Amino acid sequence: MLFLACSSETGSPGTGGGGAGQATGGEGGAHTSASAGETTSTGGTSDDASASSGGTTSGGTTGGSTGGGPQAGAGGTGTGGTEPPAGNPSPGCGKSGRPASGTVKVDNDHIYTFPDSYDGNTPLPLLVGFHACGNPIDQFINLTRGSAFETEYVRAVGRSSDGGGCWNYNSDIAKVLRIYDDLMDNYCIDMDRVFATGHSSGAQMIVQILAHKSDAEHMNFRAVAPVAASDYGALQVSMPVMYIQGKNDTVRGGDGASTVARFRSANMCEMSSTPYSEVMGCQSSGKTVNPGCVSYSGCSEPTIWCSHDDPSYSNTSHGVPCFAIKAMYDFFTGMP
């Protein structure tokens, strides 16, 4: 299977961005192939449908107690009406049921997927995914196929305005906001459980949204998990984050410390951290990967940095590591 590396991005307008910034050109360059039977973790193409999917579907617990003793139900009065759906329903709740085949695809502009449990009335969490430069629009649909994201979340992905090359904040922010508004206005989303992830150029797009207060407040992310982004200056909102980047990312020229520092500042964290053992290791390209995750102390919002050693993406360590999808799901789903 073929993976495209994000390798031709130009300098960042922010400070200390690890040598990569807002991309304006197409990406090509490094490729890697996975041998038969090998577990590969690099996200990117529609071939790798199960790569990095990780995660087991966590089923909900059934409610409904059955009165067991002779006193059960004694003295109960009143009528049981219909309880309102949990969460914060978007304006689109109640407008329609599950789309045909559970997918909405519009002119290669955006794709939405809806789990079997979607009924149009009960608000579900939303995962917004931003592809890397040169990767297909459905990069994060492919990466999350077979995971709990597929069975429990509405998933939405868009294509960058240059036809699937690299995200450019100035050119693409209007489209991103339009997609968000369409989801809220026409589908049943829990507006308090909107999450975002992105890889490389897509991760940079997330960071830039958070660096613009009005856009960050519009999108109202509950938490984010960028993979290999860059530093675009001070973030304008506090934000729960699981930041993921290879400790020897040769495309970014570093481990993402300056980007993590922006999140740490926005979340008012202390400098100290402790190992974050909730993320498990995995196998990639014949290597046992160490996620290298730490959790910062004293933060207003959870702030986790995973500085991993997955050699993916032609040994650039710039890909989506093998542990990432399950780690993101656990992090997002654990948000109060």
pLDDT in tens, 155-176: 999 999 887 689 999 999 999 9
Q: Tell me if 190 is assigned to some domain.
A: yes
pLDDT given at position 19: 35
Residue 233 in this model has a pLDDT that exceeds 80: yes
Q: What does the alpha-carbon distance between residue 194 and residue 203 come to, in Å, rounded to a whole number?
A: 16
Q: Which residue has the higher pLDDT, 35 or 96?
A: 96
SS (H, E, C) 40-79: CCCCCCCCCCCCCCCCCCCCCCCCCCCCCCCCCCCCCCCC
For the ranges 46-50, 122-126, 186-190, the lowest mean pLDDT is seen at 46-50
Q: Two tokens at 132? A: 């890397």
* Exposed e or buried b per residue across 242-259, where buried means at least 16 C-beta atoms within 10 angstroms of its C-beta: bbbbbbbbbbbebbbbbb
pLDDT, average across residues 42-69: 36
Q: Tell me if 82 is assigned to some domain.
A: no
Per-residue pLDDT reduced to its tens digit, 285-299: 899 999 999 999 999
Residue 153 in this model has a pLDDT that exceeds 80: yes
The fraction of the chain above a pLDDT of 70, given in percent, is 74
List phi, psi (to 5°) of 12.
-80, 140
pLDDT given at position 162: 83
pLDDT given at position 108: 83
Contacts of 240 (CB under 8 A, 6+ apart): 222, 223, 224, 267, 301, 302, 303, 331, 335
Q: Tell me if 62 is assigned to some domain.
A: no
Strands (E), 248-317: 273-275, 282-284, 287-289, 293-296, 303-308
Per-residue pLDDT reduced to its tens digit, 244-274: 999 999 999 999 999 999 999 999 999 999 9
Single pTM value for the model? 0.78
Q: Tell me if 29 is assigned to some domain.
A: no
Residues paired with 170 in a beta bridge: none
Judge whether 224 and 196 are in contact, CB under 8 Å: yes
pLDDT given at position 107: 86
pLDDT grade, residue 229 (50/70/90)?
A: very high
CA neighbor of 104 nearest in space, from 213, 38, 187, 32: 187
Judge whether 62 and 89 are in contact, CB under 8 Å: no
Average pLDDT in the chain: 81
Per-residue pLDDT reduced to its tens digit, 294-319: 999 999 999 999 999 999 889 999 99
For the ranges 65-79, 152-166, 168-182, the lowest mean pLDDT is seen at 65-79
Residue 234 in this model has a pLDDT that exceeds 60: yes
Residue 95 in this model has a pLDDT that exceeds 50: yes
pLDDT given at position 164: 66
pLDDT grade, residue 84 (50/70/90)?
A: very low
List phi, psi (to 5°) of 219.
-70, -30
Q: Tell me if 38 is assigned to some domain.
A: no
Q: Which residue has the higher pLDDT, 163 or 120?
A: 120
Residue 187 in this model has a pLDDT that exceeds 60: yes
Residue 167 CA: distances (Å) to CA of 24, 107, 158: 7, 18, 10
Residue 179 CA: distances (Å) to CA of 56, 159, 199, 209, 221: 29, 11, 19, 14, 14
CATH number of the domain enclosing 229: 3.40.50.1820
Q: What does the alpha-carbon distance between residue 132 and residue 232 come to, in Å, rounded to a whole number?
A: 17
Q: Domain count of the chain?
A: 1
pLDDT, average across residues 70-89: 51
Rg for the chain, CA atoms, rounded: 20
Q: Tell me if 160 is assigned to some domain.
A: yes
Domain range enclosing 170: 3-15+44-52+88-333
Q: What does the alpha-carbon distance between residue 212 and residue 235 come to, in Å, rounded to a whole number?
A: 7
Q: Tell me if 11 is assigned to some domain.
A: yes
Q: Tell me if 322 is assigned to some domain.
A: yes
